[in-house]
Chains A and B, each alone.
Chain A
Amino acid sequence: MEIGPIVRALLRNKLGAVLIAAQIAFTMTVIINAVFIINERSRLMARPSGLDEANIFHVVNIGYGENYREDIVIEDDLAMLRQMPGVRSASSINAIPVSGGGSSTGIRATDDPDTASTPTAIYRADEQIFETLGLNLIAGEYFRAADMRIRSEPGETLADKAVVSAALAEELFPDLSVNEVVGRTAWLPGVVPIQIVGVVERLQAAWPNASFVENSIVVPELYIDTFTRYIVRAEPGRRDSLMAEVEEMLASRPVDRVIRDMESLEQTRESSYRIDSAMSTILSIVIVTLIFINSMGIVGLAVFSINRRRKQIGTRRALGATRPAILRYFMLENFFITSIGVVIGAVLTIALSIVLTTNFNMPTMAWYYTPIGAVLLVLIGQLAALGPSTRAAAIEPAIATRSV
């Protein structure tokens, strides 16, 4: 092995090597952090909402005019929706999970208003909402029609029962099992007591990037207003056709209103995660571009270095170097340059990760990202150098005696 001479030769002729090492360090820093961000986004986007997303759609109803009676319209609409063939369940709800818009509140496990409250999304819906959303009850029971409270003015919650997500139950009562949480009382703002009657496995809030996205509470309460959201769960395979039928049915009724924003929950989810998805795509393009530029840089340096040393290579061959020995020489040289870049890159990667974690509220990058990235970059470097090095190994020894 010619480690010593290769290193000494690199140290004497370092400009090209330093530039490539710097490029590798920069590439590594950006790529590893970008991959981490993409993975984080993907993980967030892949989280289940707890809903039967494939079969759910929703629509907004806005009534107008003096003759518009929202209480009657909502009751009739829901009755008609529930009778439609292919509809498994339909409800009225104040906000759509994972839609980006909804209501939140603070909830406490004690009636002491000075204790810190736990943030949570709050859904106000009828007793059929659990069937409509397709939630999975893991403790207690759902509230019933008799528990429903109707109001037409904004204000404190009138309901006295609630179903909560398991994440919220655990955060409110960390020492209790979900079964033990059932029957407990929690307090909403204004020291409004509410009894937890059931716990669902999962129900996400309306804001996918909220820190409390897994915290949700559903209360049996309908806010009668001109603005109403209907949410419908179709039988499997009937969603798309039902969306058109529901719109037609609602529009055909003699009511002064506007029907709009008909959307499947899958479309809603896609729309909510559009920025995350776009960020992942852009970062993927950046990664591919950087790897390409980096590889081209390595190829360029290797080709330049080999062309500059054709006579040297011929001389080495004349002095007894085999083709594998020449190949090994240039692969080793590339390995050293890449390794220097990777070591500097590892330091910069961790530094950037700390900056992102500290300033942008990102989770800490797992330890294995840096070593895996380093190994991959060295491999990419070796792959990029393989072609030029193979060409170098093919140089004939007779070139040593040529005068030019």
Chain B
Amino acid sequence: MLKMTNISKVFRTELVETHALSDFTLNVEEGEFVTITGPSGCGKTTFLNIAGLLETYTSGSYLLDNVDVTELGDFQRARLRNEKIGFIFQSFNLMPDLNLFDNVDVPLRYRGMKASERRPRVEKALESVGLLGRKKHLPAQLSGGQQQRVAIARALVGEPRFLLADEPTGNLDSNTAQGVMELLNEINAQGTTIIMVTHDQELAQQSPRNIHILDGRIAQESGKRTPVTPAETAAAVA
């Protein structure tokens, strides 16, 4: 699903050169739930940005769903992000001037889908996070947990192959965070690959696979790869 080999990312200024990631190699199989931990400035966000095609890397290779993204232009990267990746941000990143329906609708509009196709998908996504009844509300009218659920619905509406979550519970209280984690686990159980960056060690320990980054490298890896095949998913649901 995601295969990074010797990825390096160097930020250069006139005075200083910063190695955000160095020879970073990681394979994530389809259906995995991987947490990424590490201290501030260790390269977690850089990894997430590169994995999500939000920024380019200095060297190495990266295959996303067997597509080599190294030479892709801005248009193709945008297309891949839209079709294969769902993003969940720490601050939810909802559009404050748009109601919940329009917020969840955003990725589908960029996919160029007709309104008649988008509507049922948006409503289904909102229903899956329990907020269909509030689709006309604005984000400011919701609690933090509800806003993050909307963000999850937005991430899921395009039926992406994997979700990238950047501290999705970072701005939530523990009870709400637990609810969001349960939702993510459900999504993962249905076959969606999830990579989640978190500071929360407790959440990381619950994760089947945890990658600990230090100074731009993988310092420690715990857990084992637990790919969920469609057959396994079907068995789990049964």
Q: Are A323 and B74 in contact (CB under 8 A)?
A: yes
Report B196 CB to chain A, min CB distance, Å: 13
Task: Please measure, in the bound complex, the distance between the C-alpha atom of A5 and the C-alpha atom of B99, giving whole angstroms.
Answer: 9
List the B side residues contacting A13 at CB < 8 Å. Answer: 97
Q: Are B110 and A319 in contact (CB under 8 A)?
A: yes
Q: Are A312 and B102 in contact (CB under 8 A)?
A: no
List the A side residues contacting B32 at CB < 8 Å. Answer: none
Report A304 CB to chain B, min CB distance, Å: 14
> Which of B53, B102, B166 is in CB contact (< 8 Å) with A401?
B166
Of A2, A312, A396, A401, chain B has the most CB atoms within 10 Å of the CB of A401
> Which of B55, B82, B90 is in CB contact (< 8 Å) with A403?
B90
Task: Please measure, in the bound complex, the distance between the C-alpha atom of A311 and the C-alpha atom of B90, giving whole angstroms.
Answer: 13
Taking CB as reference atom, which chain A residue is nearest B197? A401
Task: Please measure, in the bound complex, the distance between the C-alpha atom of A321 and the C-alpha atom of B53, giving whole angstroms.
Answer: 13
Q: Are B95 and A322 in contact (CB under 8 A)?
A: no
Task: Please measure, in the bound complex, the distance between the C-alpha atom of A318 and the C-alpha atom of B91, giving whole angstroms.
Answer: 14
Of residues 38 through 89 on chain B, the ones whose CB sits less than 8 Å from some CB of chain A are: 45, 48-49, 52-55, 74-75, 78-79, 81-83, 87, 89
Report B71 CB to chain A, min CB distance, Å: 17
Task: Please measure, in the bound complex, the distance between the C-alpha atom of A333 and the C-alpha atom of B34, giving whole angstroms.
Answer: 40
Task: Please measure, in the bound complex, the distance between the C-alpha atom of A396 and the C-alpha atom of B48, giving whole angstroms.
Answer: 14
List the A side residues contacting B138 at CB < 8 Å. Answer: 12
Q: Are B78 and A320 in contact (CB under 8 A)?
A: yes
Q: Are A401 and B154 in contact (CB under 8 A)?
A: no
Instruction: Type the 1/0 row for A1-13, where 1 means its CB is closer than 8 Å to any CB of B.
Output: 0101100110011
Describe A's contact surface by its main secondary structure: helix
Report A320 CB to chain B, min CB distance, Å: 2
In the complex, B106 has a CB within 8 A of chain A: yes
Q: Are B78 and A315 in contact (CB under 8 A)?
A: no
> Which of A4, A322, A400 is in CB contact (< 8 Å) with B87?
A400
Task: Please measure, in the bound complex, the distance between the C-alpha atom of A248 and the C-alpha atom of B89, giving whole angstroms.
Answer: 93
In the complex, B137 has a CB within 8 A of chain A: no
Instruction: Type the 1/0 row for B17-50, where 1 means its CB is closer than 8 Å to any CB of A.
Output: 0000000000000000000000000000100110
Task: Please measure, in the bound complex, the distance between the C-alpha atom of A397 and the C-alpha atom of B50, giving whole angstroms.
Answer: 11
Known: A2-B109, A403-B91. A318 touches B52 (CB 8 A): yes
Known: A318-B54, A396-B54, A398-B55. A5 touches B74 (CB 8 A): no
In the complex, A257 has a CB within 8 A of chain B: no
Of A316, A398, A402, chain B has the most CB atoms within 10 Å of the CB of A398
Q: Are A322 and B78 in contact (CB under 8 A)?
A: yes
List the B side residues contacting A397 at CB < 8 Å. Answer: 53-55, 78, 81
Known: A401-B49, A401-B166. A319 touches B154 (CB 8 A): yes
Report B45 CB to chain A, min CB distance, Å: 5
List 6 additional contacts besides A320-B81, A398-B54; criterion CB under 8 Å: A5-B105, A315-B93, A319-B107, A319-B110, A320-B83, A323-B78
